[in-house]
Amino acid sequence: MPLLPVALVYMISRMSGWQTLAKRYPWRGPFPEPKVKMGYGVFRGWIGYNGGIVVASDATGIYLRAMPIVLSFCHDPIFIPWTEVTQITLETGFLARGYRITTAKAPEVRFALRPTTFDAVRADARAAGITSEG
């Protein structure tokens, strides 16, 4: 892999807030069966992970990891327990909509899943008592 693209992907992982979430909500185990293999999300309102997020969920929380090989070398896997989710709100931006997930340990990280990606985990969130506004 040429050095410039590697450096850009590394910088994006730091600027986006992904690594902040990964440090506060690390996942250290086998990744569960994905509900979405090419998920869409956005960090900080403008850094798009379009087709680059693998998403899983269950009764305990939501699991996120970056696309294998291309992004995973500098994007550690994330597990956010539903008990740590303080709010899920539908946000409409200039070009797209997304369900912003706010967490207790990283409220400063602006992170949202696009509606089609969020739909895959909505039932698990609802079963855990987390409702989405919008």
CATH number where 74 lies: 2.30.29.30
Is the pLDDT at 54 greater than 60? The verdict is: yes
Q: What is the mean pLDDT of the chain?
A: 85
Q: Can you list the alpha helix ranges (DSSP code H) found in 1-134?
A: 3-16, 18-24, 115-119, 122-127
Q: Which residues contact 5 (CB under 8 A, 6 or more apart)?
A: none
State how many domains the chain has.
Answer: 1
Specify the pTM: 0.85
Q: Are 79 and 100 in contact (CB under 8 A)?
A: no
The whole-number pLDDT of residue 10 equals: 58
The three-class DSSP label of residue 42 is strand
Q: What is the mean pLDDT of residues 79-107?
A: 92
Q: Are 36 and 55 in contact (CB under 8 A)?
A: yes
Q: In the sheet where 111-113 sits, what is the strand order?
A: 78-81, 61-66, 47-57, 36-43, 111-113, 97-103, 85-92, 132-133
Percent pLDDT > 90 in the chain is 54
Q: Are 98 and 26 in contact (CB under 8 A)?
A: no
Condensed to tens digits (0 to 9), the pLDDT of residues 13-52 reads: 555 788 899 999 999 889 899 999 999 988 777 667 777 8
The whole-number pLDDT of residue 32 equals: 92
Structure tokens at 23: 């440090």
Query: Residue 55's domain spans which residues?
Result: 3-133
Q: What is the mean pLDDT of residues 108-128?
A: 95
Residue with tokens 């892999």: 1
Is the pLDDT at 12 greater than 80? The verdict is: no
Is the pLDDT at 64 greater than 80? The verdict is: yes
Closest by alpha carbon to 39, among 66, 11, 61, 9?
A: 66
Q: Higher pLDDT residue, 88 or 19?
A: 88
The whole-number pLDDT of residue 43 equals: 75
